[in-house]
Amino acid sequence: MKKWLVPVLIIGAIVLGLYLLTVGKYNNAVVKQETAQTAWSQVESAYQRRSDLIPNLVNTVKGAADFERGTLTDVIEARAKATSVNVDASNITQENLQQFQQAQGEVSSALSRLLVTVERYPELRATQNFQQLQSQLEGTENRINVERNRYNEQVRDYNTYIRKFPNNLIVGMYGFERMPLFEADPGSENAPEVDFDF
């Protein structure tokens, strides 16, 4: 065997090994990123479900005599604002995630005020339609929480993967960046004070 052939084969094996390592790391990063983006789509779907329930809830409540129109207007406006905030799954940034969270928080707040106001109308609370809508809304809120947690799990998995050595060197060349997590709203770490003095 020729002397020059052994070094060429060794160099070729090293290059092939590096190529396969790079391709494998890149493909794993793509799969993890796609999984996180799919989880984001599920979050949006859960929020859309809640948004779709709001008109039915508002119409049911609107039928109650002397109901506070300001509360209904707040819910309608918060829903309109929330549906106007769109986040592209392929380009989620901390800033646009915070805008999305803020808009959805306003919807949650307006819905909470609506449900508190409804407490003063026992005849409305007693209707089957309202009870079904309230139950669906509660289920949707639970679904939102589950999907947000799943999104955070997938993003943590992706972020950990792209930050590990040597993955960070390899996928860093291709522009993979960390994705933002859903974070608790400021002040949510404090338990709310409930006042039962009516």
Q: Per the domain annotation, does 101 fall within a domain?
A: yes
> Who contacts 19 (Cβ-Cβ below 8 Å, separation ≥6)?
none
Q: Per the domain annotation, does 197 fall within a domain?
A: no
Q: Per the domain annotation, does 186 fall within a domain?
A: no
Residue 13 domain boundaries: 8-172
Whole-model pTM: value is: 0.73
191 pLDDT above the threshold of 60: no
Distances (CA, A) of 93 to 32, 88, 121: 17, 9, 43
Q: What is the pLDDT of residues 38-56, one digit of tens each?
A: 998 898 888 888 888 888 8
Q: Per the domain annotation, does 143 fall within a domain?
A: yes
Domain count for the chain: 1
